[in-house]
């Protein structure tokens, strides 16, 4: 039996980054970019109007005064011929020169000779609707050269690296990639994770269990945890406790990037998983960790000739034990396979003040369900009533797991504990 940190170290040393793939932008959401994106054009690609108004020459406007305001005298009113109109998508068109302007819409190319855009709100005497062939009267006391124009290349230049490898691709990054001309990106492959539930007592979720039976809660729970990590869950159903169905399910699961089995890893007569994995060619890296709940966890590796090795986790059958082991050991492994660091896959950990006394275990460190709350004076942690490693109801009411070191005895109210926080779990269950 090894310590938690040693188990995590062995997993990190065994896991390898999966080869990247080139995918369409719409298929890259949530993935990690593995190759820089370089822009093929300037952005904006030309001088662009940022407001509806009139593209004008600076020669028609007096130098601005530091004291200028909207009550500026009438002698600062400028009257111009409207030579043309330009909307977004139109060509730049004719050249602006002193005495004439172009009515322009937001997003349209700024015509040659234009030094600024005077907003349409600055048209006076009912001339805001002026069109080509008419005249407009403008008053802009705070006129500045370049106002309301996005200059070509203001955002980025052709040849500039706009996104670097390592960034996680969300909506803003994918929009930027599209603007830079990248219809496809090279990104990490979401690990494919096969999931097998073992135990002859298990029945599918839709079946009402008979005496001695129990529903397969681990399968859906682990699939949800896998998908939450950005990986792809491949549920393979229930294998039972018979050697042949178990061997067949394992053979199918070893084609994935990771295989999770729940149950069958303790020392009972029907705990067949370690032997079945060994018979399938899976090398055992470790079996059993000094931990409560989760002690029986098994970890190994199946080396494939033409692909990255398959990581194999034999998780305890009790659901709380299974999920605690997923959080501590499987999450970091998935992060490494996806091209991130092991630390990137771990939940955040915070110090918090105990609101109620809680007792640890003499021989093993304990992860105890709790509610983590932000108070004005800092974070507090309240241990929840917990019926043991099969108590999913108790875990569902938690938003964290407090760490109780082995041999800590009873911790009193006000003492500080370390809490692993569940980002996406709510403590509002009734």
pLDDT value of position 276 = 94
Would you say 230 and 168 are in contact if contact means Cβ atoms under 8 Å apart?
A: no
User: Per-residue pLDDT for 75 more than 60?
Assistant: no
User: Per-residue pLDDT for 428 more than 80?
Assistant: no
Domains, the chain: 4-19+189-345 (3.40.980.10), 22-43+156-187 (3.90.105.10), 48-150 (2.170.190.11), 349-421 (2.40.340.10)
Would you say 281 and 300 are in contact if contact means Cβ atoms under 8 Å apart?
A: no
Residue 193 exposed, middle or buried by CB count within 10 Å (0-12, 13-18, 19+): buried
Mean pLDDT on 165-183: 96
Least confident of 70-74, 91-95, 233-237, 343-347: 70-74
What average pLDDT is seen over the chain? Answer: 92
pTM of the entire predicted model: 0.78
pLDDT digits (tens, 9 = 90+) for 197-243: 998 899 999 999 999 999 999 999 999 999 999 899 999 999 977 88
Q: What percent of the chain has a predicted confidence (pLDDT) above 90?
A: 81
pLDDT confidence tier of residue 67, bands split at 50, 70 and 90: low
Would you say 343 and 332 are in contact if contact means Cβ atoms under 8 Å apart?
A: yes
Omega prior to 44 cis, within 30 of 0: yes
Would you say 382 and 418 are in contact if contact means Cβ atoms under 8 Å apart?
A: no
Least confident of 41-50, 57-66, 303-312, 361-370: 57-66
User: Per-residue pLDDT for 405 more than 90?
Assistant: yes
**What does the alpha-carbon distance between residue 372 and residue 359 come to, in Å, rounded to a whole number?**
18
Would you say 170 and 156 are in contact if contact means Cβ atoms under 8 Å apart?
A: no
pLDDT digits (tens, 9 = 90+) for 106-127: 999 999 999 999 999 999 988 7
Residue 268 exposed, middle or buried by CB count within 10 Å (0-12, 13-18, 19+): exposed
User: Per-residue pLDDT for 70 more than 60?
Assistant: no
pLDDT value of position 426 = 38
259 DSSP β-pair partners: 194, 312
Alpha helices in 157-282 (DSSP H): 171-179, 218-228, 243-253, 273-279
Residue 52 neighbours by CB under 8 Å, 6+ apart: 104, 105, 106, 119, 120
**What does the alpha-carbon distance between residue 386 and residue 393 come to, in Å, rounded to a whole number?**
9
Mean pLDDT on 396-418: 96
What HEC string does 94-163 produce?
CCCCCCEEEEECCCCECCCCCCEEEEHHHECCCCCCCCCCCEEEECCCCCCCCCCEECCCCCECCCCEEE
What DSSP character marks residue 256? S
């Amino acid at each position: 039996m090894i310590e938690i940190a040693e188990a995590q170290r062995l997993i990190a040393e065994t896991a390898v980054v999966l080869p990247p793939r080139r995918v369409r932008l719409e298929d890259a959401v949530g993935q990690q970019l593995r190759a820089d994106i370089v822009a093929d054009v300037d952005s904006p690609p030309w001088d662009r109007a940022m407001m509806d108004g009139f593209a004008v020459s600076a020669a028609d406007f007096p130098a601005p005064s530091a004291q200028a305001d909207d009550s500026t005298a009438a002698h600062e009113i400028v009257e111009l011929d409207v030579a043309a109109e330009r909307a977004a998508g139109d060509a730049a068109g004719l050249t602006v020169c002193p005495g004439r302007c172009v009515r322009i819409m937001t997003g349209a190319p700024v015509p040659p000779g234009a030094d600024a855009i005077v907003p349409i709100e600055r048209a006076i005497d009912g001339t805001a609707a002026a069109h080509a062939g008419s005249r407009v009267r403008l008053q802009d006391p705070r006129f500045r050269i370049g106002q309301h124009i996005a200059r070509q290349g203001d955002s980025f230049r052709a040849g500039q690296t706009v996104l670097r490898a390592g960034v996680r691709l969300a909506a803003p990054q994918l929009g930027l990639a599209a603007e830079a001309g990248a219809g496809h990106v090279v990104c990490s492959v979401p690990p494919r994770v096969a999931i097998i539930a073992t135990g002859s007592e298990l029945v599918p979720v839709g079946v009402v269990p008979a005496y001695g039976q129990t529903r397969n809660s681990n399968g859906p729970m682990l699939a949800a945890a896998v998908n939450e990590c950005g990986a792809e869950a491949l549920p393979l159903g229930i294998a039972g406790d018979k050697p042949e169905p178990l061997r067949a399910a394992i053979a199918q699961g070893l084609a994935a990037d990771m295989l999770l089995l729940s149950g069958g890893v303790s020392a009972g007569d029907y705990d067949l998983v370690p032997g079945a994995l060994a018979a399938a060619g899976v090398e055992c890296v470790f079996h059993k960790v000094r931990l409560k709940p989760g002690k029986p966890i098994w970890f190994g590796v199946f080396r494939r000739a033409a692909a990255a090795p398959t990581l194999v986790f034999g998780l305890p059958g009790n659901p709380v034990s299974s999920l605690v082991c997923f959080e501590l050991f499987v999450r970091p492994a998935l992060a490494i396979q996806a091209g991130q660091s092991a630390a990137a896959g771990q939940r955040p950990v915070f110090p918090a003040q105990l609101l109620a006394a809680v007792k640890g275990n003499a021989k093993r460190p304990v992860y105890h369900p709790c509610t983590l709350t932000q108070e004005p004076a800092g974070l507090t942690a309240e241990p929840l009533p917990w019926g043991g490693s099969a108590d999913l109801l108790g875990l569902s009411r938690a938003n964290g797991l407090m760490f109780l070191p082995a041999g800590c005895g009873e911790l009193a109210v006000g003492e500080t504990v370390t809490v692993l926080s569940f980002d996406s779990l709510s403590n509002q269950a009734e």
